[in-house]
Amino acid sequence: MTPSVGSGRQRPRRGRRYVALLLLLIATPAGAQPRITETDARAFVARQEQAWNARRLEAWFAAFAPDATFTDQAYNGLKPPVPYGTSTLRAARTQIRKAPPSHETSRVFRVAVAPDGRSAQVTTSVGIRSGERRLCASRVQTLVSAGGALKSKGQTDTYIRCRGR
């Protein structure tokens, strides 16, 4: 004896469950990118510094977005900064590999998180030593959340006169 099609209990359709789950994921903030915090930004800069000083260049470059730019400029008194030039990520890779190793010490002195929490501008004071040469700069980076990880859109280093020894 075969049961009739209309008799007995009916199971809920799987398709309805999947649609309900999908709607729940879309409607909840859990699917959204996490907000960038000041703590995240400071930790990002610390990881960058560690990678640079250990000469782990691939780890250092991995912290940058593919469209990142690198700008160097000099500040001289009351005049506007004088740009040296801007490089793409690809050009920066080539230039840095040719440069002698250097050691950086940085101090974050400003983190400005955007109101929506999706980006942050970080300003850092950087001391650079390359052999006997000593340089000082103010570095500005814009950090964004990309795929759940922080990435820098690049950096602008404004070289300034070093104070003291």
Per-residue model confidence (pLDDT) at position 21: 47
Per-residue model confidence (pLDDT) at position 81: 79
Q: What is the pTM of this model?
A: 0.76
> Among 135, 115, 154, which Cα is nearest to 35's?
115
Q: Is the dihedral of CA 90, 94, 95, 96 positive or negative?
A: positive
Per-residue model confidence (pLDDT) at position 36: 94
Specify burial of residue 4 (Cβ count, 10 A radius: 0-12, 13-18, 19+).
exposed
Residue numbers of the chain with a pLDDT score lower than 70:
1-33, 165
Domains recognised in the chain with CATH numbers: 35-160 (3.10.450.50)
Per-residue model confidence (pLDDT) at position 77: 78
Give one DSSP letter per residue of the chain, joined into a string: ----TTSSPPPPPHHHHHHHHHHHHHHSGGGSPPPP-HHHHHHHHHHHHHHHHTT-HHHHHHTEEEEEEEEEEE--TTSPPEEEEEEEHHHHHHHHHHSPP-EEEEEEEEEEE-TTSSEEEEEEEEEEEETTEEEEEEEEEEEEEETTEEEEEEEEEEEEPPP--
Q: What is the pLDDT of residues 92-116, one digit of tens each?
A: 999 988 888 999 999 999 999 999 9
Say which residue the tokens 């501008």 belong to: 121
Rounded Cα distance between 55 and 146, Å, is 24
Rounded Cα distance between 136 and 158, Å, is 8
The pairing of strands 149-160 and 64-74 is parallel
